[in-house]
Structure 1
């Protein structure tokens, strides 16, 4: 295993935590704008329809994936700028 890959592991873990928090905040804001409610429906909430629950889950998954990819890519690009090697 390359030294740069080993050195990047803790950075990648930290970026993963940050991206998770950022995605959670982004989803809350998106749901408020789209759903006009403060809280997204819970899968076990019997007062919500299947459609509401599944749309919320799909939106949350999409936002999480985009934020994670953007943060991971930015971290790798920054690592290359600082060290001259791509961490992957």
Structure 2
């Protein structure tokens, strides 16, 4: 395993945690804009209909994927600027 990959691992973990918090906040805000102050449904919410639960899950997945890719790419780009190597 390359030294740059090993050195990047702790940075990747911190970025991943920060990205997860950012994605969760973005999803909550987005859902409140869509549903006007309603909390997002859980899959086990008995009072929520299937379409609402599935739309919420799809939206949450899309937001998390975009934020994760953005954070990982930014971290790798910053690492290349600092070290001169890509942390792949």
Asked if Structure 1 and Structure 2 have the same fold, meaning a TM-score greater than 0.5 normalized by the shorter chain, the answer is yes
- The residue aligned with 1:33 is 33
| Superposition CA RMSD, Å | 0.7
Deviation at 1:42, TM superposition (A): 1.3
Q: Which runs of no fewer than 5 residues in structure 2 stay unpaired?
A: none
1:35 Cα offset (Å):
1.4
Matches within 5 A, 1:37-56: 37-56=37-56
Distance 1:50 1:38 in 2: 16
Deviation by residue 1:51-72 (Cα, 9 ceiling, x = unmatched): 0000000000000000000000
Deviations 1:23-54 (A, max 9, x none): 00000000011111331011111110000000
Q: What stretches of structure 1 move > 3 A for 4+ residues in a row? A: none
Looking at structure 2, the residues matched to 26 and 13 of structure 1 have their Cα atoms a distance apart, in angstroms, of 20
Q: Count the aligned residue pairs.
A: 88
